[in-house]
Homo-oligomer: A and B are copies of this chain.
Amino acid sequence: MNLTHPFEDADGDKLREECGIFGVLGARDAAAMTALGLHALQHRGQEAVGITSFDGQEFYSRRGIGHVAANFSSGQALAELPGMMAAGHVRYSTTGGSGLRNVQPLFADLAAGGFAIAHNGNISNAMTLKRDLVNKGAIFQSTSDTEVIIHLVATSRYPTLLDRFVDALRLVEGAYSLICMTPEGMIACRDPLGIRPLVMGKMGDAVVFASETVALDVVGADFVREVQPGELVHVTLDGRISSHRPFGSPAARPCIFEHVYFSRPDSVMGGRSVYEVRKAIGMELAKESVVDADLVIPVPDSGVPAALGYAQQSGIPFELGIIRSHYVGRTFIQPSDGARNADVKRKHNANRALVAGKRIVLIDDSIVRGTTSLKIVQMMREAGASEVHFRVASPPTEHSCFYGVDTPERSKLLAARMDVNAMAKFIQADSLAFVSIDGLYRAVGEAARSSGSPQYCDACFTGDYPTRLTDLLERESAAGQLSLPVEKVA
């Protein structure tokens, strides 16, 4: 969600969803409920968290670096956030002095009243819009793309906050699921393509919005429906709910990677259990790329459901051949004597007694840079596995995401640099296979990918971006070059 180039933050070997949002209106302990809801969405952003509440008179904000539990579990922290309406945000953030200023919800005192905003996604023309606003005298307090929306609201000529907000969104391009608060109530909306998720729930008279259904479960709310792509739901302080469609009805293209990896397996998304979809991907994979082996072993934890599907479909026993430590924190200083790959071992350890002498199939959700996959394969061989086959529950990840996901620069993506054979060699696997793009679409219930009008945003696999990428184009044209296709090694 930063204006900083999305390539520059990525150093991990997983794509990272960058935000989770939660809001509630009409609950006596709105902030406590928001803290609980954000805790359930912590996998969507672990580095910073903020909550803003409204008590009918004033807005209150509290932000922190770190986990929800570390910042919002004390009674004192919650006592600073009175009122029956609250919204919150978890995010990945870059560290440093300016850190707290970028933690959401962002808040501003506008002439029309207080305005708080929590955003999941990324605005792909934010830099261009910011430059225009600054030229007109706007003063930015953060480096977040989200602040652009606030200034557009502040300078809109429309009379009401709701109209100003719609006016602002018409100028904005990219992916956004938003939860906003005004002195009149709460606004939840999704961009016209519905790239990032947003669901609506109810608990008694209270209305709840959240990135995933699991947050409804944890607070005890009932799922009502998804906020529709391009829909804006307005809930007034006294509980009246209205739905608006300012952008007409374009065809939706929600992110398919939410099913593959980002969302929790116990969430339901687009009407389907994420767990069941992941098992179905594993089954498709077993059908497409069966192998003669003794054990199916998931790369924990994200590979587990697909591995169960693969095992059930193939009849090869599912076993825990890799044990994951729950105590993963900062990287340790590597002892100079021995301890090869200690860093991967402190997270994952081979279950040697099980693996020794066996032919195994490893199942993972995706391959990004490939460095971790390589270490895992090596660890299995050191533990005595006689054959190591690698199966991936998504197609090759060849393209960067510009819609709120932290992806490495394209040239760092293994699948952008190599074909499947070269990748297999790189990770030292005896064989490697990915589920096909149509296999993935089948797992989410489609017959196949509709190439003319794809049902999902699958740009990371296909390069087919559903919106313009204004800031990127401008950066590249300023640099005197377009982003050229990366040439693959075979």
Contacts and interface: CB of A to CB of B under 8 A. Distances in A.
Interface in A293-352: 301, 304-305, 308, 312, 317-320, 323, 325-340, 342, 345-346, 349-352
Contacts of A336: 28-29, 32
A27 B217 contact: no
A209 interface: no
Interface stretch (A69-77, A172-180, A252-260, A475-483): A69-77
Contacts of A305: 320
A330 B69 CA distance: 6
Given A73-B329, A326-B326, A141 B141 contact: yes
Contacts of A46: 327
Nearest to A39: B346
Given A29-B335, A139-B139, A73 B330 contact: yes
Contact of A339 (B97, B220, B354): B220
A108 B33 contact: no
Contacts of A109: 134, 139-140
Contact of A264 (B70, B323, B339): B323
A217 B383 CA distance: 10
A24 to B, nearest CB: 9
A363 to B, nearest CB: 14
Contact of A350 (B217, B333, B352, B354): B217
Contacts of A108: 139-140
A438 interface: no
A217 B68 contact: no
Interface in A123-169: 134-141, 150-151, 154-155
Given A62-B97, A308-B319, A345 B111 contact: no
Q: What are the 9 tightest A-B residue pairs by CB atom distance, in nearest-first order?
A: A69-B329, A273-B353, A137-B155, A29-B335, A266-B323, A42-B327, A32-B335, A220-B338, A137-B154
